[in-house]
């Protein structure tokens, strides 16, 4: 979209003819793009490429997703079936047959990178993906990892998987022939309607200069700006810095919220006042805990990797501890609020409003609501939930609830309504009017004056 961004850097002036051929095919939209993982990152990426007239093959092990996409249906909120059907006209199709990797020119990997039970990086999705695709890779292809991970993953996991398959090398020097490898971190922000995806700059770090330029040209076709860095590890660390920055600042306001509650101060009022400063301050807001696919996880990835260098990331680890403690604060707040009503948490009926990890998204990953529900149940409460995005919550990596969403017309039946995710669909005035007690962990009831409300 910005031709200047695709100029060959001085480091790649002597690149082999493969780069010139790549750029020529790119300009003619003759390249076929393969995207592995058709979730919250991979599917929007596939649609961006389809909108720019690229033929896209989406790969996923979930047969349900493949079937829905090929039928022109969507499974992600804010992505309408019309978006899928428009992309199909440009050639978008989905498959679970990884042998088709051989037919694409670029392979973009967008698979999950969660934490294990012991809070260490779980590379199983990346390893499994590489086992599936490595036998089918061929020289001249570009492989880009987009999954958030620790610095060194591309070189330590992706490259050996390619070369151990035995049929092709990963290119490290201009004169080599093989697969070109790069890392380009996803920067998806589910629910964000203020910034168009194409306006989010794309960071790219290649194993060699040619890989960087090939990836830069490809991504510049769908993003308005690409940012080159010196290596895959630099690109991997860039993504961790972005998310740990948020994690640390959220921990700061979470801790200040706890202090302000003791001092009888309104942290939300204070943050709004501080945010009027035109320099040196960026507003972050407290909540019941961190959720999503990156921010709760990334500090642990970096802390784990840092130990390899005999380095302790004390500041980052402390921020993680503060954020992880917030569900316990919410639990205590519910107990205290019920006590004031001369009720015990054990045996009380509690309705949790919102289970998504943030407002107006259909995403449960690492949601603090799931932790809070299980904690309430452990203390003997009869817990129900309501969420306009989830009619049912079943089983996941870290939860097993098997619950159906409760209609809001049953609000009066509950001893306590706990606001965990502040979806805009909720009529908070009506909820407060009908509820016996409301505990608000998101400041959703700000401006509503009622003795029923306990803000935490």
What is the C-alpha separation between 160 and 169, in angstroms, rounded? 9
282 φ, ψ to 5°?
Answer: -125, 130
- CB neighbour list of residue 20: distance below 8 Å, 6 or more residues apart: none
Phi-psi region of 290 (alpha: psi -120 to 50; beta: other; left: phi over 0): beta
Coil, strand, or helix at residue 34?
A: strand
CA distances (Å), 390 to each of 93, 357, 364, in order?
Answer: 27, 12, 9
Work out whether strand 416-419 and strand 392-395 pair parallel, antiparallel, or are unpaired.
unpaired
In terms of C-beta density within 10 A (0-12 exposed, 13-18 middle, 19 or more buried), how is residue 140 classed? middle
Catalytic residues: 294
Q: Which residues contact 172 (CB under 8 A, 6 or more apart)?
A: 207, 208
**Rg of the chain (C-alpha set):** 24
Q: Which two tokens stand for residue 254?
A: 């979470």
């Amino acid at each position: 979209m910005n031709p200047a961004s695709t100029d060959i850097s001085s480091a790649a002036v002597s690149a082999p003819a493969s780069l010139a051929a790549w750029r020529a095919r790119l300009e003619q939209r003759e390249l076929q793009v393969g995207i592995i993982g058709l979730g919250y990152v991979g599917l929007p990426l596939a649609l961006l490429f389809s909108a720019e007239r690229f033929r896209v093959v989406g790969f996923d092990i979930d047969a349900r997703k493949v079937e829905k996409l090929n039928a022109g249906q969507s499974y992600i909120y804010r992505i309408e079936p019309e978006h899928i059907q428009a992309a199909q006209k440009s050639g978008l199709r989905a498959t679970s047959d990884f042998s088709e990797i051989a037919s694409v020119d670029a392979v973009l990997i967008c698979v999950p990178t969660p934490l294990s039970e012991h809070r260490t990086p779980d590379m199983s999705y990346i390893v499994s993906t590489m086992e599936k695709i490595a036998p089918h890779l061929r020289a001249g292809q570009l492989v880009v990892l987009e999954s958030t991970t620790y610095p060194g993953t591309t070189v330590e996991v992706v490259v050996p998987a390619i070369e151990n398959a035995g049929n092709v090398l990963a290119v490290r020097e201009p004169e080599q022939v093989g697969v070109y490898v790069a890392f380009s971190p996803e920067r998806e922000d589910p629910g964000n309607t203020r910034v168009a995806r194409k306006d989010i700059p794309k960071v790219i770090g290649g194993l060699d200069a040619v890989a960087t330029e090939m990836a830069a040209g490809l991504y510049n076709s769908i993003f308005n700006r690409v940012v080159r860095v010196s290596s895959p590890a630099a690109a991997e660390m860039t993504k961790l810095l972005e998310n740990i920055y948020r994690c640390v600042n959220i921990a700061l306001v979470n801790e200040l919220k706890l202090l302000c509650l003791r001092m009888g101060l309104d942290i939300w009022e204070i943050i709004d006042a501080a945010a009027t400063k035109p320099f040196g301050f960026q507003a972050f807001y407290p909540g019941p805990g961190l959720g999503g696919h990156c921010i709760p996880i990334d500090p642990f990835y970096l802390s784990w990797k840092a130990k390899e260098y005999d380095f302790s990331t004390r500041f980052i680890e402390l921020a993680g501890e503060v954020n992880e403690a917030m569900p316990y604060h919410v639990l205590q707040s519910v107990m205290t609020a019920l006590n004031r009503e001369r009720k015990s948490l054990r045996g009380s009926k509690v309705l949790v409003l919102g289970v998504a990890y943030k407002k107006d998204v259909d995403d449960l990953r690492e949601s603090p609501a799931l932790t809070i529900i299980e904690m309430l149940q452990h203390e003997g409460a009869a817990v129900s939930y309501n969420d306009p995005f989830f009619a049912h919550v079943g089983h996941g990596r870290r939860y097993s609830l098997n619950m159906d969403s409760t209609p809001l017309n049953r609000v009066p039946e509950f001893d306590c309504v706990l606001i965990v995710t502040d979806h805009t669909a909720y009529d908070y005035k009506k909820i407060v009017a009908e509820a016996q007690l409301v505990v608000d962990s998101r400041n959703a009831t700000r401006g509503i004056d009622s003795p029923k409300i306990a803000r935490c």
